[in-house]
Each structure stands twice: as structure tokens, then as C-alpha cells.
Amino acid sequence: MHDLKSLYLCAHAAEFPAQALLRLLPGLEGLPVVVLDGHAADEYVCAMNRHARHMGVVLGMTRLDVEGIDRVRLLARSRETEAAAGDILLECAARFSPRIENASQGTACTFVLEITGMERLFGPPAQLAGRMRNVLAAAGFRVSIAVSANYDAARMKAAVTHGIVVIPDGDEARSLSKLPIASLQLPEEPCETFALWGIRTLGELAELPETDLIARLGQDARSWLMLARGRQPHLFQPIEPELSLREFCEFDTPVEQIDLLLFIGARMIDCLVSRAAERTLALSLLVARMQLDNNRSHSCVLRPAVPSVDGKFLLKLLQLEIAAHPPQAAVVALELSAETGRSSTMQLGLFTPQTPEPSRLDMTLARLRAIVGDDRVGAPVLEDTHRRDSFRLESFAIDGHNSDSKPAVPRMALRRMRPPVPVRVMQRETKPVAFRDHENRFAITAAYGPWRTSGCWWSRDEWDLEEWDILAERSDGSSVACLLVRDCAVNEWRLEAFYD
């Protein structure tokens, strides 16, 4: 069987601190933007966009120098934003190859993919590289891509090129010949030596005799020579990317207006939705964490009744949640994280009435929670106890399964009185014989009981009840069937329900 020769694709995102911030701030794309790093007194330029570079900004400039350039927008570096953006770039790259190695250095984010045999799925290397560049551009990243049979040749070529370059097999040395010696990232001493010799490019270094070079600079010189010629072997160490739906944005100044916060949140939600939709998934949980100006944090949790990929709907839920529980201080950073689920479709019967859309239900529930409180809206769930009316509220969710319809069976119904009606009961030999409410007097014709229940004797919620099933007659001769309950703790009687 013929063995395929290894083929590598390097995606290089330069000025990554700036790209990570600008992908969430689309309004600044056409403006000169500079990212500052370091302490307040020693801030310096660590990244910029092309508009700032055209205006004369260079790496390492101080804040004072940059502030002297007109119309330049200054942003603070956010390493959390870069980490979240790096995960997204890695996730996009994993769509084209499962074998990826992180080759990032400095302020650039670089990933090398082994694409051996991938042309059967994505076409020739140039076509694969073009499709990958379009996917990364849709995610908000500007990358340069180089393809080569040599790992280091692809990595070094991608770092200095713009667009897409495919290096033919065996042409690595010629393709790298015009790259500067700095591409090898050598220590300071050999760099000075090559400068004295007049060696400034990889092509000039590749022409030096190997034996004489090793004799003067040591065994490391052989590796430098192999790199310059595009022949250096490499042990590929792939990483395993995991799906992590997380977006983070740190604001340059604290945000006090909810509209501005939602403007940034809309972009973040759209990114999360598109990433989940690419895997045929939907968002079943969305958590918004806000870092406040007073060194505290504020969180909002959204649980749609049905997993959704509707960004506008999720943004509206976030707006209602923030309006019901607003942060108590200005927001300095916003993080959105999501969990995925599969959106299900419910098959209705031919004659089944049309039901409301799940999104409308979520909107209604959110508005009700804002009015009556979170603990008063949800689905009632009976608790595992004999205590009467003991239930709790859980978040309402639709499971997508239709319950089996069975023929209705005539049954006796219990119609409870809410609240129960206090009554006065006359007893004979501890058995009720008559009772009176605030309007009528009832003569008891039959009494069945008592049925005693009690529990929680160890807490303040203790109860001790005595129930009686009663058949009684009113003064007008009409008969009723009801349930009388005696609270033994306080020796009080009340009318709990009627049997229909």
C-alpha cells in the first residue's frame, strides 16, 4: 500500500490581542485601534490593526507617544478574551483536521494542521486553505495560511506572508530563501555572528557549507541550516480541542447603560449560536457573568423551555433577565457561557389545536418572573411527603414527548377550598355529629374516620392532622359530601374540600 507523504497547513493570526477584541467590537473595524499592555505607568503597544500601522504606530511605543497620534483608539489587553478567542479559532480549525498542534509565539496565534489525505474531503490544498480562511473570516479572524510538506517551512512562511501560499514539494528552500534570519528566532549571539558575516536571509544561510558552519557555531548550527533549507524533521504533537461555548469581553471603561451591554451581548450570542449550529446543536442553557466595578460579580441564568438557536430570542430573554435583576454597579467585563442540547420537533395530530411557540412561552414566563418573582413561576412538582399541599416549583421545560391519551374514566373529584373554611364542630364520643360555617348548619348523617397524618416532628414545619369523610345535610334538605380536617396541634376544625 502506498504511504501518503505528510502535508501541513499553518494558520497564522497576527496581532491576535487586537483581533480578539475587535471581533466582538465590529463598530471599531474601520478605525485605527491600538492594544496596550503592561502596568499603568509603563504601558506599551503590543498589537494594532492595519489602520493604526498605516498611521505610523509601531510595536513598543508608549501610551504617551500613541496619544499624540490623532484619532487612534486605545484598548487594554485582555488575556481572558484572547484565551476565549483562541478556543474559537481552534474549534474552527478542527473542522478541517483532527490533528492540530499549537505553534503560537508572542502575540500571534498559530495552529498547524496535518492535512494528509484531507484533499479527498475538501479538495486540493489551495481549495482547502481557501475554505478554511473563509470559515475563520466568518468567525472574525484574519489569518494567513501556508501549506507545505515540511512543518517548519509552513510555519515560517505563514508568519511573513499575506493570504494563502502553497509550497510545492521539494521547493521549500527556494520559497524560504528571502525570509529574514529573524524567522529562525535564534539566540542573540548567533544573530550577531550572522550579522557580522553579512548573512541576512535564510537563502544566504542555506548556501553555507554544513561542516564549516558546525565547526564554528556548534551542533545547533545544523538545525538552523536544516530549517533554512526546509528539511528539518519535526515530531508532531497534536492537541485535542474540546467544544467550549464561551465568550468573554473586557470593557475599556465601565459600562453603566444596559443598551450598550446588550449591544455587545448580541454579538457574543450570535457567535455562540453559530458555533452550536455548526454541530447541529442548540443552546439549552446560557449563563451571563458580569464583573462589576465594585469588585463583585453578578450572574444571570437563562434556561429556555426548548433548546434554541434563535439569537434574537435569546437576546430578548437576556434583556428581560437583566431588567428583572439589574447589576448593582457598572460592568467592567462580560462573559457568556452556554451548554448545548438538541432541539426537538413535536409532531401534532391532525386535529390537535395549534399550540403557542416555545419562544413566546419563554417570553411570557420571563415577564411573569419580573412581576411576581422567580420563586412564584414554574412547574409544580409534588414532594415526597404526606403533608398536604406540599409542592415546589421547578423551571418549566418541554420534553417534546406527547402523553398517551387514554379513554376518560368517570371518577369522583375532590374540589378543595382555598383557603380552607374554618368551622365549628359538635362531637359526640369524639365523633363529629354536626358542624356550622359562617352561613349554614350541617347535620352529619355519616362520618368515616379518623385518618391521622403527622410528620416533621423535628422541625418547625411539624403537622398533626385528623381527617374525616363526611356525609351531611343542610337545613333545606340538600345533602353534601365533604372533608373535615382537625388540626390537633391547635385543636381547630376546617372544611377542606367537597366531593363532586
CA atoms of 406 and 311, how far apart (whole Å): 39
Q: How confident is the model at residue 348 (pLDDT cuts 50, 70, 90)?
A: low
| For range 76-81, the mean pLDDT | 91
**Fold match, 175-242 / 246-341:** no
Pairwise pLDDT comparison (141 vs 389), residue with the higher score: 141
Query: Is residue 18's pLDDT more than 80?
Result: yes
Mean pLDDT of the residues in the chain: 87
Handedness of CA 78, 335, 254, 51 (dihedral sign): positive
The reported pLDDT for the residue numbered 143 is 95
Pairwise pLDDT comparison (344 vs 423), residue with the higher score: 423
User: CATH classification of 175-242, choosing from 2.30.140.10, 2.40.160.10, 2.40.160.20, 1.10.150.20?
Assistant: 1.10.150.20
Please say whether the beta carbons of 292 and 298 come within 8 A: yes
Q: How confident is the model at residue 184 (pLDDT cuts 50, 70, 90)?
A: very high
The reported pLDDT for the residue numbered 363 is 78
Please say whether the beta carbons of 9 and 113 come within 8 A: yes
| For range 123-132, the mean pLDDT | 94
pLDDT tens for each residue of 100-116: 999 999 899 999 999 99
Please say whether the beta carbons of 287 and 336 come within 8 A: yes
Question: Would you kindly state where each structural domain of the chain is located, as residue ranges?
Answer: 8-169, 175-242, 246-341, 414-499
Q: How confident is the model at residue 171 (pLDDT cuts 50, 70, 90)?
A: very high
Share of the chain above pLDDT 90, in %: 51
Query: Is residue 299's pLDDT more than 80?
Result: yes
- Whether residue 419 has a cis bond before it, omega within 30° of 0: yes
Q: How confident is the model at residue 440 (pLDDT cuts 50, 70, 90)?
A: confident
Q: Angle between the 210-217 and 220-229 helix axes, to the nearest 10 degrees?
A: 140
Q: How confident is the model at residue 201 (pLDDT cuts 50, 70, 90)?
A: very high
N- to C-terminal Cα distance for the chain?
A: 83
**In the CATH scheme, what is the homologous superfamily, with its name and number, of domain 246-341?**
DNA polymerase, Y-family, little finger domain (3.30.1490.100)
The reported pLDDT for the residue numbered 147 is 96
| For range 397-416, the mean pLDDT | 64
Question: For the structural domain made of 8-169, what CATH number should be given?
Answer: 3.40.1170.60
Please say whether the beta carbons of 301 and 341 come within 8 A: no
| For range 459-467, the mean pLDDT | 85
| For range 294-315, the mean pLDDT | 88
Give ∠ CA 155-157-160 in degrees, rounded to 5: 110
Query: Is residue 173's pLDDT more than 60?
Result: yes
Mean pLDDT is lowest, of 135-149, 267-281, 361-375, 423-437, for 361-375
460: left (phi over 0), alpha (psi -120 to 50) or beta: alpha
Mean pLDDT is lowest, of 64-78, 239-253, 290-304, for 239-253
The reported pLDDT for the residue numbered 409 is 66
Q: How confident is the model at residue 356 (pLDDT cuts 50, 70, 90)?
A: low
The reported pLDDT for the residue numbered 240 is 73
Pairwise pLDDT comparison (402 vs 178), residue with the higher score: 178
Query: Is residue 135's pLDDT more than 80?
Result: yes
The reported pLDDT for the residue numbered 2 is 44
The reported pLDDT for the residue numbered 462 is 84
| For range 184-196, the mean pLDDT | 91
Query: Is residue 199's pLDDT more than 80?
Result: yes
The reported pLDDT for the residue numbered 1 is 37
Place of cell 439589574: 326
Query: Is residue 318's pLDDT more than 80?
Result: yes
Of 48, 44, 38, give the one whose Cα is nearest residue 17: 48
| For range 312-341, the mean pLDDT | 90
CA of 117: how far to CAs of 3, 264, 446, in Å? 10, 40, 87
Q: Residue 97: CA atoms inside 13 Å, Cβ hemisphere, count?
A: 26
The total number of residues shown for the chain amounts to 500
